[in-house]
Chains A and B, each alone.
Chain A
Amino acid sequence: SQQGEEDPQALSIQEGENATMNCSYKTSINNLQWYRQNSGRGLVHLILIRSNEREKHSGRLRVTLDTSKKSSSLLITASRAADTASYFCATDFKAAGNKLTFGGGTRVLVKP
């Protein structure tokens, strides 16, 4: 079963608006990452937040992590049409192989 569950499953916004998506997970983690997937392409790493961090920024991206609630959120500010993609959270545990467990993803459509 998947570790992460993402909400919403789909999101449609106008260019310039902010997009927020959430990820919940079930067990304790080492790190949580967010990836973007453009249609027909592989996943691209966006940002990693460690279990002892609460917030992280990268350009227009802001990620928060609440380990007490086992949840994370990804905020994309001032969205652009090029942000149209699917976004996935992925978690890893203190286990061999740097294995990741992915959520089901949020499909984001940014309308120009």
Chain B
Amino acid sequence: NAGVTQTPKFRVLKTGQSMTLLCAQDMNHEYMYWYRQDPGMGLRLIHYSVGEGTTAKGEVPDGYNVSRLKKQNFLLGLESAAPSQTSVYFCASTDGPLPQHFGDGTRLSIL
């Protein structure tokens, strides 16, 4: 039972490049979330989904897009990467009620 799997684990981008981060969960959870974690800080919610085909904005959505075409997958896209998006990105899922189950993160550096 893999739980929540994030790919890739590490990536270095140049400013202006685009990329997609993939989150996959095998627990049949309805709710999925994307967070970013900056040094010495807690997690901030970027976007989330309450079910297949739905997405909603979180606290810091600017510069990111998401899609939930399949229940088990939640994709986070950066259309034109900026240095301010250098961070560690975490995906989480839950079937409600809480708690949330987290992946191990994607470490993204933008030069």
Residues in A lying within 8 Å of B, measured CB to CB? 2, 4, 9, 31, 33, 35, 40-45, 48, 88, 90, 92, 96-105
Contacts and interface: CB of A to CB of B under 8 A. Distances in A.
Contacts, number: 71
Interface in B1-55: 4, 31, 33, 35, 40-45, 48, 50
Interface of B: 4, 31, 33, 35, 40-45, 48, 50, 56, 58-59, 90, 92, 94, 96-105
B102 A43 contact: yes
Given A44-B102, A98-B97, 7 more contacts: A4-B42, A90-B42, A98-B96, A100-B100, A101-B45, A102-B35, A105-B42
Contacts of A88: 42-43
B22 to A, nearest CB: 15
B98 A92 contact: yes
Contacts of A4: 42
Contacts of A35: 99
